């Protein structure tokens, strides 16, 4: 039997439109902040970390630290500035299907 070759997958190579980026970030946000932060790092990598650093006014090395899978101290202000540099914004919305809302209907 021939040995199978494993080809590495880099999601940043596929984040090539605002819609794709927004969908990816939304899906990751639904999994939790660790996934969202790593996804923002993927998007920054896809666009160019230096470009995002310049547009956000943040240091390139700081962006790598803030948006890695081990990040534990990323602040809202950093997320907001990076999303703005990407051309996106956070949005809170009511899901179509709500299970047990904490307030009366």
pLDDT in tens, 16-72: 999 999 999 999 999 988 899 999 999 999 999 999 999 999 999 999 989 987 877
The pLDDT assigned to 99 comes to 67
The arithmetic mean of pLDDT across residues 58-87, rounded, is: 90
At 95, is the pLDDT very low, low, confident or very high (cuts 50, 70, 90)?
confident
If phi over 0 gives left and psi between -120 and 50 gives alpha, with beta otherwise, what is residue 72? alpha
Do residues 24 and 43 touch, judged by C-beta distance below 8 A?
yes
The pLDDT assigned to 89 comes to 87
The pTM of the whole model exceeds 0.85: no
The pLDDT assigned to 38 comes to 92
Report the alpha-carbon distance of residue 6 to residue 2 in Å, rounded. Answer: 13
């Amino acid at each position: 039997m021939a040995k199978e070759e494993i080809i590495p997958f880099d999601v940043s190579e596929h984040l090539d439109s605002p819609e794709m980026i927004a969908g990816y970030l939304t899906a990751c946000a639904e999994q939790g902040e660790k996934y969202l932060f790593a996804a923002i790092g993927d998007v920054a990598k896809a666009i160019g970390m230096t470009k995002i650093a310049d547009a956000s006014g943040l240091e390139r090395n700081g962006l790598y630290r803030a948006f890695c899978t081990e990040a534990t101290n990323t602040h809202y202000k950093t997320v907001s500035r990076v999303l703005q540099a990407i051309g996106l914004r956070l949005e809170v919305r009511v899901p179509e299907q709500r299970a047990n809302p904490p307030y009366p209907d």
